[in-house]
Amino acid sequence: MTKDFSFTVRDLPRSERPRERLQRFGPEALSAQELLALVIGRGIPKKSVLNIAQELLARFGNIKAISQATIEELSEIKGIGLAKAAQIKACFELGRREDLEPEFKNYDIKDPEAVVKAIRTSIKDKAKEHFKLILLNPRNKIIGISTISIGTLNASLVHPREVFKDAIVHSAASVVLAHNHPSGDPEPSEDDLKITKKLVDSGKILGIEVIDHIIIGKNNFCSFKERGLI
């Protein structure tokens, strides 16, 4: 059945509205457009929430591209301000964490390969650099993974206060730094080296050891610990 999405959701028969369809059939029965419409919540004058959801899909091409878009890029769609863009990003992040959590719950970090296994799925194929902080308890088990920044890393922009905030809140005994290189080459840059030294020194002051910094490439990785850089 083809719906005319120029109508508002209320113009649809109740049984055909996304919320009612989800309640009756479950979320797996809804199209991507309908799921996005539920997240966005409501439309604007002369533009229904279903129109907005369809424009999102048309602009970015698919769900994966929408999930990787920045808040600023999402808010360029008329009807999606910064608040709704943040809601969309939050939903994708919850889904990402749901996929990741079973992998690292009580996960032992015994070597760099274990770190790569724990986070590769969350940052592989990303067009931008994602800088992660892996929080460890005294027995080297992961208690959390935080995203510190997204975008090209710059030593002058990475402040130890932001990096170690979650580590302090969660009483982490030690941490591992990790980020991806979209180019696929995991060789450390000059900024990578500066950032690492800065954070290792800060960790010593805070009593939180930086065990390693791992850069993940397309099919390989670089461990600062293995290289003798930490």
Q: Where are any strands of DSSP class E within 71-227?
A: 130-136, 142-150, 174-180, 209-216, 221-223
> Which CATH number describes the domain made up of 105-227?
3.40.140.10
pLDDT confidence tier of residue 3, bands split at 50, 70 and 90: very low
Q: Which residue has 């959390």 as its token pair?
A: 144
Q: Out of 1.10.10.10, 1.10.150.20, 3.40.1180.10, 2.30.30.100, which CATH number does the structure's domain 9-96 have?
A: 1.10.150.20
Measured distance between the N- and C-terminal CA atoms of the chain, rounded to whole angstroms: 61
pLDDT confidence tier of residue 41, bands split at 50, 70 and 90: confident
pLDDT confidence tier of residue 126, bands split at 50, 70 and 90: confident
**pLDDT tens-digit map of 45-86:** 888 889 999 999 999 998 888 988 999 999 999 999 999 999
Q: Residue 45 is encoded by which pair of tokens?
A: 């004058």
**pLDDT tens-digit map of 20-34:** 888 888 887 888 899
Parse the chain into domains and list their residue ranges: 9-96, 105-227
Cα separation, 188 vs 196, in Å, equals 10
**Closest of 147, 141, 154, 219 to residue 177, by C-alpha:** 147
Domains 9-96 and 105-227 share a fold: no
